[in-house]
Amino acid sequence: MRHDKMMIELYCTLDRTKHIPVSVSFDAVLARWSVRIMMHLLRRDRLKQFLTHHLRLHCGNRELCFVREGDVLLAEVSDMPIIDPCSVMLRHAPMICVRVQDGQLMHDLADYHRLSVMELRMLGQYPHAHVPYSRTGAIWERVHSYLRTDLHTHLSSQISSEGLLEVASMHDALYPVELLERHGITTEGLTRHAMRSTFFAPARSEKLRCEQEDCEVEGIYVRELKEHHPQAWTRFIEALHIPVDEVHTFDMLERQVYRMRNPLTKNPALVRSTLLRVAQEYRQQGIDYAELAVTAAFDTAWLRAATEAILEAEECTGVQLRLLAAIPRSLPPVEMLHQLALVKYIAQHPYVVGVDFLGYEANKTQNFAWALNHVARFAAQQARGIATDSTGWDFADDFILRVHAGENGKNPDNVSEVLDIAFRHGIRVRVGHAAYGHERDYQGIARIMGQRNQLIVEFNPDSNMAMNNIDTAEQLPITAWAQAGIPIVIASDGAGIYQTDAQQLLAAGMYAGLEDAHLEHILATEQKHCARQQALFARKQQAFITHYAHKDAFFSTLEQQTRHLKRYDAMQRLAHKRPLLIAGASGSSWSRISVNHQKEITRAIHQLVHSLDPDKIYFALGRIKHEGIGRIVDDAISEYLTYHPNSRPFDVVGMISPHQNMPTLATHLNHIVVLHGELMSVPTHMTEKLALHHGSALYIGGSAFTRDFIKRSEDLGIPFGVMAEIEGASGEKARVLESQFIFHGAAGMIHQVRTMLGDDVFRV
Ligand SMILES: [Zn+2]
């Protein structure tokens, strides 16, 4: 019996995510230390083997290897003087150090010595990596001065897996059996109930019924799984995040992890408790302020529930949660335009602080530069307190534009293109990731924008590692940006899915090379941002209450606007103005035009745009190539706005076919008309729309498509003009058409428009 009492034991973990439990015991009779390391929660044998080969037990001047028995590592050493501490070392770096003090076992080392999730992933994937990273130097004392914000995260990936399942249990949520079984999670003996499916686009092609739209499927109560199948419960938790020793691709994240979260994160009954839980988890990490990007922010019911929960969460935990309305960067243009229209409305709510363009960076920033320009113009107006016509809301807001850019290296210009747009409009912008790009990104305008408090770059080291975008912490250019004096923060990108927290994120930044002065810089950036948002919130809240005496008024208008967008007909809406289609040379047909003619065309279009009245006429354009007629019209409108900053902008209607995959559109586009039918039917459908709305057309150069446009315009009796002597379609047709359809040079172009549309469409 005496022997038992002399045995003291301590439980801890080798890592900070608590996936490698360790028990350390000291037997006072035998003066024996024994250490057991449990590896059953690890996924990769590679990591288990690595630990077996590289872990040592140190005691006094003794060093021992661990012996592996299945998933357990064991080391024991006897006859040790009681004053000698016992340490677990990994490649000569201390992870755990325990000593006997007053009959108890005590830890000697700070938390940051244990392995972080970034190191676990590196070892699971690349056992030859130089891990653990060094923890020497005074800077490590600072890792306790936690990060205070999480400016880059997503609600559906932020909540911890356990948190999500607890919320689901609490609310008696059902979960589809089909998904659990596909994942090898048993539901044996549990009663099945009918439930509705939850659509999940990324796995649509796999045709699971529970992921299609509006199907009835079988589900079980999440709560019952916990009660009856504890092992299945553990497996379920593990299925909701990326394992600590694994690296995923974007596809794996979507089709393995997000799909398992989907039935819960999209369940409207769980919104309130999910947000409360997120706030509690932030409280535990020491985070005071977080901005959650959410695609559901456009849904009236969701937004109503979320804003109520955010208020409650702040009252309970003191944590301030704010929302960024999120738009996928590859959304088809029409849908994107609808969401942009709604963003302008929901941004009135004090809890909505801006917009986020997110998703897998398969496309270039340029592909949706029109949308960024669109929202940037709005942000610039907001900053100046200019009312948006429909609502009368004229509160001078400070609206955040955040873009995911440089997360992977596929399109290295993505970061600089975002910076260019924001700089041009003089608005604040946040860049999420910036793991890839050019040196000039942090040497150029970023410095100026940083000095003006218009830029914050958000680094997400643990997400980048988990998603196969970097292989080591040093690969992240975070110190280069910090050194350039540009405001930066470190963020989670979804702490639940990546299994990280504020302290591990800061450590990852230090592995990447951040030094003491950089940490000061980060903390100062956070403080400045929070102070700014708080001041803004107080004023915005007041304005909101004044404008919407009942908050129901805000939500019912949002619902109306959403319904209205579905029936929205741009050309009908613009019926009080006359459309002018300008089409012709683009891409290769533009390069066939002589330089002199190109200059003449450019001069003509600029003169025309400057002389027209935006209240009387609008432009119709197709997709835009890098060079050509559409680009010149777009540039001329930009120039017009530079010279007439207080003028009402021109309306620009993009006429696009759904067959044009990710088309580049005019930066001034503010309406879209979708042309149905095949790509070859574009000239027919476009001219039919034009005829219906009493439009006119100018054709300049071009090839086969433009020839068809001209022919169809003639058939339908649309007033039009072709520019003579220009290489391509317009020059060819000018040789055979009647003179009323032909014009020469800049003066001829203006005269042609006057003949077609009358003097009325010109500025006085
Ligand atoms: Zn993100």
CA–centroid distance, 14 to ligand 1, in Å, is 29
Cβ burial, residue 2 (10 Å; 0-12/13-18/19+): exposed
pLDDT of residue 4: 53
For residue 49, which amino acid is it?
Q
Higher-pLDDT residue of 673 and 762 is 762
Write down the pLDDT at residue 556.
Answer: 92
Distance of CA 26 from the midpoint of ligand 1 (Å) = 46
pLDDT for 5 equals 59
Half-sphere exposure of 323 (CA within 13 A, CB side): 29
DSSP state of 386: P
- pLDDT category at 508 given cuts 50, 70, 90 is very high
Residues with Cβ within 8 Å of residue 328, at least 6 apart in sequence: 295, 357, 358, 359
* Neighbour count for residue 683 (Cβ, 10 Å): 21
DSSP label of 484: T
How far away, in angstroms, is 703 Cα from ligand 1 center? 43
* Of the candidates 219, 304, 238, the residue with the CA atom closest to the CA atom of residue 556: 304
The two beta strands, 62-65 and 55-59, are antiparallel
Percent of the chain with pLDDT over 70: 98
pLDDT over 90 (residue 648): no
Comparing CA positions, the residue from 162, 460, 326, 660 lying closest to residue 630 is: 660
Is the pLDDT reported for residue 62 higher than 70?
yes
Strand partners, 56: 65, 89
The arithmetic mean of pLDDT across residues 334-338, rounded, is 87
The per-residue pLDDT for 398 is: 81
β-pairing verdict for 671-674 and 7-13: unpaired
| Dist. CA 147–CA 133, nearest whole Å | 20
Q: Which domains does the chain have, with CATH numbers?
A: 2-139 (no CATH), 149-160+246-560 (3.20.20.140), 163-240 (no CATH), 570-761 (3.40.50.450)
Q: Which amino acid is at 483?
A: Q
Segment among 214-218, 266-270, 328-332 with least mean pLDDT:
328-332
To the nearest 5 percent, what fractions of the chain are helix, strand and coil? 45, 20, 30
Q: E strands of 345-405, at which residues? A: 352-358, 400-405
Structure confidence at residue 390 (pLDDT): 59
What is the CA(311)–ligand 1 centre distance, in A?
24
Residues 6+ apart with CB under 8 A from 551: none
Cis status of the peptide bond prior to 719, with omega within 30 of 0: no
Q: E strand or H helix at 756, and its extent?
A: helix 745-757
Find out whether 220 and 190 touch, Cβ atoms under 8 Å: yes
- Return the half-sphere exposure (C-beta side, CA atoms, 13 A cut-off) of residue 349: 29
For residue 326, the CA-to-ligand 1 centroid distance in Å is: 10
Label residue 92 left, alpha or beta by phi (over 0 means left) and psi (-120 to 50 means alpha): left
The Cα–Cα gap between 634 and 619 comes to: 10
pLDDT at residue 143 in the model: 82
How much distance in Å is there from the Cα of 530 to the middle of ligand 1?
Answer: 20
CA separation for the pair 15, 168 (Å, rounded): 28
What spacing in Å lies between the alpha carbon of 152 and ligand 1's midpoint?
6
- Exposed / middle / buried, residue 625 (Cβ in 10 Å: 0-12, 13-18, 19+): middle
Using the predicted structure, report yes or no on whether residue 2 has a pLDDT greater than 60: no
pLDDT tens for residues 83-136? 899 999 999 899 999 999 999 999 999 999 999 999 999 999 998 888 999 998
Tell me the backbone φ, ψ of residue 563, rounded to 5 degrees: -65, -40
**What count of Cα atoms within 13 Å lies in the side-chain half-sphere of residue 18?**
5
508 alpha carbon to ligand 1 midpoint, in Å? 17
Residue 432: which H helix or E strand, with range?
strand 429-433
CA neighbor of 640 nearest in space, from 669, 678, 666, 614: 614
Backbone angles phi, psi at 382, to 5 degrees: -55, -45
Ligand 1 centre to CA of 69 (Å) is 41
Q: What is the distance in A from the centroid of ligand 1 to the CA of 277? A: 20
For residue 666, pLDDT over 90 is answered with: no
Give CA–CA dist 369/357, Å, rounded: 11
d(CA 412, CA 403): 14
Q: CA 393, CA 406: separation in Å to the nearest integer?
A: 35
- Ligand 1 centroid vs 153 CA: distance in angstroms? 6
Q: Which two tokens stand for residue 192?
A: 């099945």
Tell me how crowded residue 268 is: count the other CB atoms within 10 A of its CB.
11
The chain-wide mean pLDDT, for the chain, equals 92
Q: At what angle do helices 745-757 and 595-611 cross, to 10 degrees?
A: 40
How remote is the CA of residue 517 from the centroid of ligand 1, in Å? 26
Please tell me the distance between residue 118's alpha carbon and the centre of ligand 1 in angstroms. Answer: 17
Q: How many CB atoms lie within 10 A of CB 100?
A: 19
Is the pLDDT score of 1 beyond 60? no
Q: What is the dihedral of CA 360, 362, 366, 369, to 10 degrees?
A: -30
Q: What is the band of 71 on the pLDDT scale with cuts at 50, 70, 90?
A: very high
- Helix 333-346 and helix 551-566, axial crossing angle in degrees, nearest 10: 160
Q: What pLDDT is stored for residue 659 in this prediction?
A: 72
Q: Which 8-state DSSP code applies to residue 676?
A: P
- From the CA of 522, how far away is ligand 1's center (Å)? 19
pTM of structure:
0.90
Q: Output the DSSP codes for 152-217.
A: EEEHHHHS-HHHHHHHHHHTT-EEEHHHHHHTT---TTPPPEEEE----GGGGGG--GGGSSS-EE
3-state SS string over 31-52? CEEEEEEECCCCCCHHHHHHHH
Give residue 433 CA to ligand 1 midpoint distance, Å. 8
Residues 711, 713, 717, 718, Cα dihedral to 10° = -160
Query: Sheet of 696-700: strands edge to edge?
Result: 671-674, 652-656, 617-621, 578-584, 696-700, 720-723, 742-743
Whole-number Å distance, alpha carbon 761 to ligand 1 midpoint, is 46
What is the Å distance from ligand 1's center to 404 Cα?
6
Spatial CA neighbour of 259 closest among 277, 239, 244, 245: 239
**What average pLDDT does this structure show over 339-350?**
92
pLDDT for the residue numbered 672: 86
Q: 387: pLDDT confidence band, cut at 50, 70 and 90? A: low
d(CA 755, CA 139) in angstroms, rounded, equals 75
Q: Rounded to an integer, what distance in angstroms lies between the CA atom of residue 35 and that of residue 17?
A: 19
In whole angstroms, give the CA distance from residue 138 to residue 123. Answer: 26
Q: What is the dihedral of CA 73, 241, 466, 502, to 10 degrees?
A: -90
Indicate left, alpha or beta for 227 from its phi (over 0: left) and psi (-120 to 50: alpha): alpha
Residue 606 Cα to ligand 1 middle (Å):
40
Q: Which strand (E) or helix (H) includes residue 382? A: helix 369-384
Q: Which helix (H) or strand (E) holds 97?
A: strand 93-101
Work out the angle at residue 575's Cα, subtended by the Cα atoms of residues 670 and 630, and round it to the nearest 5 degrees: 40
The pLDDT, as a whole number, for residue 719 is 96
- Identify the three-state secondary structure at position 675: coil
Give pLDDT, residue 569.
Answer: 83
Higher-pLDDT residue of 662 and 227 is 227
C-alpha 405/C-alpha 425 separation (Å) is 18
Instruction: Give the Å distance between the CA of 207 and the centre of ligand 1.
Output: 27
Contacts 24+ apart (CB under 8 A), 41-46: 42/71, 42/124, 42/243, 42/244, 42/245, 43/124, 43/243, 43/244, 43/245, 43/246, 44/124, 44/243, 44/245, 44/246, 46/123, 46/124, 46/125, 46/127, 46/245
Lowest average pLDDT, out of 12-21, 82-91, 555-564, 740-749, goes to 555-564
Q: Would you state the structure tokens that stand for residue 357, as one six-digit string? A: 């363009």
